[in-house]
Amino acid sequence: MQVNPQIDESWKEVLKDEFEKPYFPLLKKFLLEEKQRHVIYPQGPQIFSAFNLTPFEKVSVVLLGQDPYHGPGQAHGLCFSVPRGIAPPPSLINIFKELKSDLGIPFPGHGNLTGWARQGVLLLNATLTVRANQAGSHQKKGWETFTDKVIETLSMKRKKLVFLLWGNYAQQKSALIDSGKHLILKSVHPSPLAASRGFFGCRHFSRTNEYLEKNGKEPIDWNLNNT
């Protein structure tokens, strides 16, 4: 099966060996069969949105999620983000609460994090697709193999990145990251079930910018009110 993902050329180059491995055509076959029987999120052209908005050489921060949102209109290829006009889910509301506490940035009138992605924040879900209304339905089909390679490649080929690992699942990915070359910031997940146990008060946004500036990089403008 021909594999030609709709992904930015910079990523296509650094991941070219991955697309040729046996699991990737099998993943594509699975997705084609799923689409014949089910509604799949996000829509095809948006599956690689995180990569297309944040080219490989532009990445300065990596924020890891697990699954795309599985409700209508929510997923658009960026972890934690929803398109304009879609109500921000609870975890995203808690992210905005911490942002206000940390940097005094008021709640934006939307939940679209594209403004962060364009500045170098790779908003990466471990699994890039999901069946409508069935959380976790596309796990262990090959996506995690691919996204683990993304994390490993960034760790190996880039320097002085910030990895934001929120929740137990994301924290397990720290094994793929060279902590001598990069800053790894961990906390509990921002979901309502966990946020009060350490996400609130983690100050990851200001700590990210302090690290970037200390290493001669542009800080992230976390304010989405102007985007």
What is d(CA 195, CA 96) in angstroms, rounded to the nearest whole number? 12
The reply to whether 67 belongs to the active site is yes
Q: How far apart are CA 186 and CA 167, in angstroms?
A: 8
Helices (H), the chain: 9-14, 16-19, 23-37, 49-53, 90-103, 114-117, 143-157, 168-171, 204-214
111-129 b/e (C-beta count within 10 Å ≥ 16 → b): bbbbbbbebbbbbbbbbbb
CA distance 41 to 49: 12
H or E, element range at 162: strand 162-166
- Going across the sheet that includes 121-125, the strands are 121-125, 61-65, 162-166, 183-187
- The whole-angstrom separation of Cα 93 and Cα 68 is 16
Catalytic residue among 8, 67, 178, 221: 67
Count of beta carbons in the 10 Å neighbourhood of residue 81: 30
Q: Which residues participate in catalysis according to the annotation?
A: 67
